């Protein structure tokens, strides 16, 4: 049975500028690659309403995004840029995330959301790090409101998801595991940052063998799930930890994401997995990483 990949055309229209690394070519390469994968079925989602976003972000933040986009775009914060179509991309991307989450919660299997802009740096009232809203926390809150008791978020993007941690670190029903490069942007994610015992940070230096990153993220996942079984696994699936990415210094290859995914399925056989696309700034490499993760979900 193919894995559904939910997306929305508006995600291709968010354009922070020709020199910006978070380019529409990233998602375009992923979708082109997945059209050749027999194990994948692309599905267009409906745009989200404001309600699931308001469970995470104050209305003033959402109004700021909408207003800046309607004026033709501009800088929200440093390198976090909006264009005229960015607000529609937010709604389309969140719609894809919610569709993937609903699919998984209905017991139909694993799913993936091929979206942009990414989300794991977004704080409650501020976008940063190319991120406008926090997609994975929107998914987690949506799952909790639907009755799920425990949600595990795994973040294997090369950058620490500071926004995700800030939004869940006081919520014992959600556990967050992050492998990320350190020291590196955004400067958060120390191992000592534990929240209410629900945060498991795995900061590591660049240029190490892939086996070290594979082992150490897995150690964090096992620690987070010892005597604590999630009802849903959400993966902040960034692929900028691959060798050669201009925004990271890790050494992963596409097959390593398949290995993590297979281990997850074996370790937590009753929990569906939903991947949400985050970073990855060499479009062709990003596409291969996504494809490898999805094949392992079949």
Phi first, then psi, for residue 259 (nearest 5°) are -65, -45
Report whether pLDDT(241) > 90: yes
Q: Would residue 121 show up in a list of annotated catalytic residues for this protein?
A: yes
Catalytic residue among 14, 61, 110, 121: 121
Q: Give the pLDDT confidence of 70-114 residue by residue, as tens digits.
A: 999 999 999 999 999 999 999 999 999 999 999 999 999 999 999
Half-sphere exposure for 96 (CA within 13 Å, toward CB): 28
> pLDDT-derived band of residue 269, with 50, 70 and 90 as boundaries?
very high
Report how far apart, in Å, the C-alpha atoms of 135 and of each of 56, 95, 116, 117, 278 are.
Answer: 9, 10, 10, 9, 9
**Domains and their CATH numbers in the chain:** 3-297 (3.40.800.20)
**Which residues lie below 8 Å from residue 270, measured CB to CB, with a gap of 6+?**
229
Encode pLDDT of 167-213 as tens digits.
999 999 999 999 999 999 999 999 999 999 999 999 999 999 999 99
Percent above pLDDT 90 for the chain: 99
pLDDT band at 217 (very low <50, low <70, confident <90, very high): very high
Burial 54-81 (b: 16+ CB within 10 A, else e): eebbeeebbebbbebbeeebeebeeebb
Whole-number pLDDT of residue 1: 85
User: Model's pTM, two decimal places?
Assistant: 0.98
CB atoms within 10 A of CB 192: 7
Query: Could you tell me the CA-to-CA distances from 283 to 89, 145, 230 in Å, in that order?
Result: 19, 35, 32
Beta bridge partners of 126: none
């Amino acid at each position: 049975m193919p894995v559904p990949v939910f997306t929305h055309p508006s995600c291709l229209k968010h354009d922070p500028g020709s020199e910006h690394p978070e380019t529409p070519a990233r998602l375009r390469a992923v979708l082109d690659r997945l059209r050749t994968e027999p194990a994948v079925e692309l599905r267009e989602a409906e745009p989200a309403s404001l309600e699931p976003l308001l469970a995470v972000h104050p209305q003033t933040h959402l109004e700021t995004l909408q207003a800046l986009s309607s004026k033709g775009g501009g800088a929200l914060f440093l390198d976090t840029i909006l264009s005229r179509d960015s607000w529609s991309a937010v709604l389309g991307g969140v719609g894809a995330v919610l569709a993937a989450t609903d699919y998984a919660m209905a017991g139909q299997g694993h799913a993936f959301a091929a979206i942009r802009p990414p989300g794991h740096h977004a704080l409650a009232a501020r976008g940063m790090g190319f991120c406008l809203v926090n997609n994975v926390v929107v998914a987690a809150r949506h799952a909790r409101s639907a009755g799920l008791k425990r949600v595990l978020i795994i973040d294997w993007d090369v950058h620490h998801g500071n926004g995700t941690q800030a939004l869940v670190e006081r919520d014992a029903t959600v556990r967050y595991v992050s492998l990320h490069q350190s020291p590196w942007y955004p400067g958060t994610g120390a191992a000592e940052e534990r929240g209410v015992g629900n945060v498991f940070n795995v900061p590591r230096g660049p240029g190490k063998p892939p086996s070290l990153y594979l082992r150490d993220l897995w150690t964090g996942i096992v620690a987070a799930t010892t005597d604590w079984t999630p009802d849903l696994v959400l993966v902040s699936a960034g692929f900028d930890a691959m060798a050669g990415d201009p925004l990271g210094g890790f050494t992963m290859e596409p097959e390593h994401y398949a290995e993590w995914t297979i281990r997850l399925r074996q370790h937590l056989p009753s929990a569906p997995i939903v991947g949400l696309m985050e970073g990855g700034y060499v479009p062709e490499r990003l596409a291969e990483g996504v494809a490898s993760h999805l094949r392992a979900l079949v």
